[in-house]
Amino acid sequence: MLFQIFDAFKPRLHDSNSKVTQVALEAMHKMIPLLKDHLSPVINMLIPAIVDNNLNSKNPGIYAAATNVIQALCQHLDTSLLLQPFCTKAQFLSGKAKQDLTEKLA
């Protein structure tokens, strides 16, 4: 069931309409404390959707929302679940997204 929900939700995290993306990130930020470690089966699908484009966004609302989601993940999930997906993404990012994820990894 969780996969079906997030399969439908994931495209909203990188929608061509920036308002949709921002609202999806803000919704994700609210869901994380509620779902906590129940997100573990979908975390490898979610992190790329959250990080790609959003952490390097020139739109300050999207960037702030993406940063808040990453912070919430670090606060509410077992950090061992985040280590591999964060490392994988950090290898291929550039700019402030790479810097932000590298700081989280440190």
Q: What local confidence, expressed as pLDDT, does residue 37 receive?
A: 83
Q: Give 17-36 pLDDT, tens digit per residue.
A: 999 999 999 999 999 999 99
How sure is the predictor about 99, in pLDDT bands with cuts at 50, 70 and 90? very high
Q: Is the pLDDT of residue 16 over 90?
A: yes
Q: Give 58-98 pLDDT, tens digit per residue.
A: 999 999 999 999 999 999 999 899 999 999 999 999 989 99
Number of domains in the chain: 1
Kindly report the pTM of this predicted structure: 0.92
Q: Is the pLDDT of residue 1 over 90?
A: no
Q: Is the pLDDT of residue 8 over 90?
A: yes
Residues 57, 63: Cα–Cα separation, whole Å? 6
Residue ranges making up the domain that contains 4: 1-104
Q: Give 31-57 pLDDT, tens digit per residue.
A: 999 999 899 999 999 999 999 889 999
In a 13 Å sphere around the CA of 11, the CA atoms on its Cβ side amount to 5
Q: Phi-psi region for residue 66, left (φ > 0), alpha (ψ -120 to 50) or beta?
A: alpha
Please say whether the beta carbons of 37 and 78 come within 8 A. Answer: yes
